[in-house]
Structure formats: structure tokens, C-alpha cells
Chain A
Amino acid sequence: MYDFPEIWRLELGVYIDIFIDWLKTNYGTFFDVINDVILWSMVYVEKFLQWLPWWFVVAIVFILGWRLKNLFSGLVFALLIFIVGTFGLWDLMMSTLTIVLASVIISLLIGIPIGIFMTNSSHLDAIIKPILDGMQTMPSFVYLIPAVILFALGKVPAVFATTIYALPPVIRLTNLGIRQVPKEMVEAAESFGSSRWQLLTKVQLPQALPTIMAGINQTTMMALAMVVISSMIGAKGLGMEVLIAINRLDIARGFESGLSIVFLAIIIDRISQYIANRFETS
């Protein structure tokens, strides 16, 4: 009487399963190509990052912190990343960084153009805004499902899930940044006969840059958060260390890898924010 009637079982999952099967048989090559391209480029990026001498990376982080902010920041950042090395997690950190990097780059390649197109059409704006809202309210775990369905396990579905999760801020803030350009400035450019492209590249994008940079910062931070979660679908990296530690109740291992993620987040956040601020003031 109180239980939900079992006969009202809607087998939606079965249909989705059929749909995905259909997708794979008909567009399988398409997903394979995407898979291969992403995987191939990631392997090289990862190899490159792991090939970099550790002291070189520490030095770069130090110099960025120092030049962009001050000597103290540089020293702190260098120390933090050095500590990650002392935990024995250097290579895993680079794996995590690779996925973050790939996801952010893909997010920007997709997100910035979408943000720009949204400023041209109020219809598009009205369609995409609620989708973005939806994307941001959805728990991040949910993105793992389509990722696994389309790309099985490993790095590529991790990048896929991370990209989708990290996409909204850069779209939003590109759109906002361009809409915020003072009307008179746009009109002045138009009154001199600027084409749409000239208006965009000579006026709107340069003016919106500080806002877009803020969006890139947010996207990067979201990517980092998602990368940790996507360890669940087999992305090697710091997140996976945490996952293993939880499963084995290995406090030492969990603490070290957890702390490493925090350090990495601090460094990436601060440095990308400093870069964004640079654009603001110039």
C-alpha cells in the first residue's frame, strides 16, 4: 500500500542503453577519433611535464609568484610544490596537471566562441543560460556517467567529464565581459566602419579580457576539483591516491595526497588570478 507500485516501472535506462549502442555502432569511429586525438596529445603533454627537471618546475613557480606578486609569494609557492615532491607524488601531480591542462584548453576552445556567439543573439543567450545553470547545479559525479558511456575508462573520459564540468564559467564570463563593453565604445568602432570581426578583435575582446581571465581562473579551479573526482573512472593522478587511501583506510597516504591537491589548487588559483589582475590594471 505504501510502497511505490512495481508495475509502474519505466525502463528508461534500457532505451538509453539502446540509444548509446546505436550511437556507438553508427558514430563509433567519431568517438574513437576524438578518443585517439585527446589521448595522443595528452600522452605527449604528460611525458613532457614529467620530463621537466623538478628544480626547473620549482624555479618557474617561484619566478611566476615573484614577478606577478612579490618575493614572498614566490617563495611560498616554490616551497609548496617542493613539499609535494617530498611526499613522493611528483609524477602523479604531473598526471593531474596534464588532465587539468587538457580540459582547460578544450574548455577555452569551446567556451570562448560560445560566449561570443551568445552576445550576438538574444535567442542563443536565452537557450544557453538555463543550460549553464543546470550544468552548475548538477552534482559533479553525474558527468562521469556519459563520460564512461562514451569513452569507457581512463584519461579521456576524465578529460571529457572535466571539460564539461569546467565549461560554464568561461562561457558566462566571456559573454558578460563582452556585454559589459560600454555601448559608446562599440558604436564608435562601428561608426568607423569596423567589420564584425574587427569590432570583436580590436575592441570587444581586449576590453573584455580581464573578465574573461577571471572566467579562465574559475574554469581552471573547477577543472582541478573535477579531476580529483574523475579518478573514480580511472584517471591516474593525485585523486586516485586519495581514492585508494580511502578504500584502504590509509590515513598517511590520504593525508599526503589530499594536502598535495590543496597545494596545487592554491598555486594554480593564485597564479592565474595574478595574471587576470595584470590584465585588469593595464
Chain B
Amino acid sequence: MTVKVKVEHVTKIFGPYPKAILEKVKSGGSKNEILAHTGHTIGVYDASFEVHAGETFVIMGLSGSGKSTLIRCLNLLNRPTDGNIYIDDENIVNYTKKELLALRKKKLAMVFQHFGLLPHRNVLRNVEYGLEVRGISKEERTKTAKTVLAGVGLEGWEDKKISELSGGMQQRVGLARALANDPDILLMDEPFSALDPLIRREMQYELLDIQAKLKKTIIFITHDVNEAFKIGDRVAVMKDGKIEQIGTPKELITNPQTQYIEEFIKDIDRSKVMQARNVMFKTSALVYLKDGPRVALKAMESNGISSVFVVSSERKLKGIVTIEDTIRAIKEDQPLEDILKNDFYTTGPDTYIQELIPMATDTKYPIAVTDENDKLLGIIVRVSVLSGLV
């Protein structure tokens, strides 16, 4: 995986003498005190992370936690007070004005919370804006803009005024304007926060669609944990200007490192984030086909369970045996093959818990998790799906 964006110890302090304040903060002065006395604000403090090419990286945090400040450092709308930012391995923090304009024209495009569209231009001319700034011919930019507009479902709206559009449509224009430039990196600062919940969901799915096609590197900001976990490959959680934890949604749910993050993920609907692989047991309670019914009975006894999965010598799933059948087989001296049952559910490791719920309510056996070669990876007991205690 190539690293597209690398942020190294970035700090942004607002106020008349940010550098001087930085020294004080670094040398261990009480931050709040210094700030209160000098009228400076710490927007971001010592943030470091990497974003890989094609990844959707979400920055999440409450209002005022420094998300906007941080993302605006990436295209130098804010100059960081300290630290380095590498884009394609090039440090941009000391870019000259000319280099900066070139960077913004070619590599980065931004989508804004309140859209930032130009009301004196129609939809098409808004989408053309970036191309116009780059000096691309009228003909070509119209063509590109129309294609991109069609891509976000706004075909036929080219000549409309911005004020004639609903919020959702306006943000589609904002997205189209960013995509028209064909940037490597898309910066999105709470792009859907100003939209109604229904429209927001629609836009989230649309973004996922677009991303599946275009594979941009996206840095996405939100204060909504559900949105973060739905969209993000990885999520950074910010609090008071600092990054508290970075991880995949599952890592954050299963291993929140601070109280703050725990609070955050209370809100989350886990069944939409957690997959089979996250809740399955890699059980030792399984039996090889060649072992026979006595071993099977023992495995059930020692684990206190009433059924056990049977696998081949390559760990391929063959079936399940119940305790009643096993006892009968021992008495009648039958091999395991004869009492194998197949009326249980099997699922892949990437299935979301949400989709397992109907299976769990329908079966008395655990759910088997297998890979594409039918190998048994683990089992999911019904209770862990149904209770939501995943």
C-alpha cells in the first residue's frame, strides 16, 4: 500500500504569536493557562497519521475538536504552526505560493459543509470552476463538467440556478465540482452534516458507489459515528485538538482506548459494523471425521455443549452431530458419517451481524463460519448475535 498523505506532528495554534506559544506549550507549560492568558487557541496539537492511496480515512470528533482545522492544513488553507505534511512523499508545508496553487489545482479538491457554491453562477459553471482556474478551454471544461454532473445524477440540471436546488442537490454539485478536477485526494469537511437524515444516507451510499468506481484517496470529516463507521476504512477520533485513537471501525469498537471513545461508540449500531469474523469463536470443540463418535461425545462433554461440528482432515466442514445421535451411534457402533446433519447455517467471515440475525433466530445450532474453500474458521453462538453483546 502506498502512502498518499502523511501527517507528522502537526500543530496549529491560532492567535497573533503562534510560534512563541508553541514553544511554551512544548516546554510543558499548562496549556489551558497559557491559552487563557494569551488569547491563543490550539486548533490541533501534535497530530500524526498516514492515509493510503485509495483509502477512505475518516476524522471524527465533536464540534470544536479541531477536525476542520486539521483537514484545512492538508491544502494549507491553514498553515500548520509546526510539523510536516507529505503528499506523495513531498513535504508541502514550506511550499511557495506558486507550488501551493499547483498542488491545489492538480492533487486536492475539497467539499464543504455548507457547499461553498457560487450563487452568481449556474450549476454547470459552478462545476467548471476548478477547470476554469486551471485555464482549460471552454469547450473541454463544459464537456467534463457535463460528464461529472451526469455521474452524480444531475443530468439536465446544468442551467439551473444554485438557489433552485435542494440541499442534497447542492452538495452533489459541490461533489461534482471537486470531482471535475479529477484530484487524487478528496477532502470532505462534514459534507453531509447539513442534510436531512434521509438525504444524508442516500449521499453516503452514493459516495461509497463513487468511491468503488474511482478509488480516490478520501479524507472525510464527520461528527456522526455511524457515518464514520459506514464510510471509513479507518477512523481517527479527535478530542480537544488531539487524535485519541486511529483504527478500523472494528478495532475502535472492540478495543476503545479511552473513555471518550467508549462514549462515542455507545451510539453505534454494532450489527452494521461487526462482521462474522469479529464475533466467531475459533473453537477447539470440533471433531475430525476419522475420530469417531466417542471422541465427539468427549468433546461435547468437556465443552458443555450439545452439538459439535465435524471436519475432514483438511478442516473442511462436513456437518454437525448432536449429542443424542452420538450416544445412539456409540451404542449401535455407527461411524460419524451416518449421523451427520446439515440443517445448520454457514456464512462467510465478512458477513455483517445484521444479516446473521434471521439465521440465528431460525436455528438451534451455532452458525458455522467458513472460508471460500469450505474450511471451518470458527463458530458463532446464537446468543452473541441475538443479544447484541458482540
Contacts and interface: CB of A to CB of B under 8 A. Distances in A.
Contact of B110 (A188, A202, A203): A188
A189 B102 CA distance: 14
Interface in A55-70: none
Interface in B96-133: 100-105, 108-110, 112-120, 129-130, 132-133
A194 B101 CA distance: 7
A188 B112 contact: yes
A187 B112 contact: yes
A192 B102 CA distance: 9
Nearest to B135: A198
A193 B116 contact: no
B181 interface: yes
B77 A206 contact: no
A139 B114 CA distance: 46
B114 A195 contact: no
A137 interface: no
B116 A187 contact: yes
Interface in B326-379: none
Contact of A192 (B104, B113, B114): B104
A193 B104 contact: yes
B217 interface: no
Given A184-B112, A188-B110, A193 B120 contact: no
A95 interface: no
B117 A195 contact: no
B81 interface: no
A190 interface: yes
B19 interface: no
B134 interface: yes
A195 B116 contact: no
B75 interface: yes
Interface string A177-205: 00000101101111111110010001100
Interface string B9-37: 00000000000000000000000000000
Contacts of A187: 72, 77, 110, 112, 116
Given A187-B77, A207-B120, A193 B112 contact: no
B77 A193 contact: no
A19 to B, nearest CB: 40
Most chain A CB within 10 A, of B102, B117, B118, B187, is at: B118
Interface in B66-100: 72, 75, 77, 100
B116 A185 contact: yes
A209 B120 CA distance: 10
A13 B322 CA distance: 117
Nearest to A207: B120
A207 to B, nearest CB: 7
Most chain B CB within 10 A, of A192, A194, A198, A282, is at: A192
Interface string B134-161: 1000000000000000000000000000
Contact of B117 (A188, A198, A209): A188
A191 B118 CA distance: 14
A213 B97 CA distance: 33
Contact of A191 (B75, B113, B120): B75
Contacts of A282: 120
B365 to A, nearest CB: 56
B112 A192 contact: no
Contacts of A185: 116-118
Given A184-B114, A188-B116, A188-B117, A195 B108 contact: no
Contacts of B119: 207
Given A187-B77, A206-B120, A207-B120, A193 B114 contact: no
A258 B3 CA distance: 77
Nearest to A195: B101
B68 to A, nearest CB: 10
A192 B108 CA distance: 8
Interface in B155-175: none
B72 to A, nearest CB: 8
Contacts of B104: 190-193
A206 B100 CA distance: 25
Contacts of A198: 133
A2 B66 CA distance: 69
Interface in A27-51: none
Interface string B30-52: 00000000000000000000000
B129 to A, nearest CB: 6
B294 to A, nearest CB: 71
B136 to A, nearest CB: 12
Contacts of A203: 118
B77 A192 contact: no
Nearest to B77: A187
Nearest to B107: A193
Nearest to B116: A188
B114 A191 contact: no
A192 B181 contact: yes
A154 to B, nearest CB: 43
Interface string A75-110: 000000000000000000000000000000000000
Contacts of B112: 184, 187-188
A184 B68 CA distance: 12
A10 B103 CA distance: 63
Given A187-B116, A207-B120, A193 B105 contact: yes
Closest CB pairs A-B (n = 7): A188-B116, A193-B104, A193-B105, A191-B110, A192-B130, A184-B116, A193-B101
12 contacts: A184-B115, A187-B110, A187-B116, A188-B110, A188-B112, A189-B133, A191-B77, A191-B108, A192-B177, A193-B102, A207-B118, A207-B119
Given A189-B118, A190-B77, 9 more contacts: A185-B117, A185-B118, A188-B118, A189-B129, A192-B181, A193-B105, A194-B101, A198-B133, A202-B132
Interface of B: 72, 75, 77, 100-105, 108-110, 112-120, 129-130, 132-134, 177, 181, 187
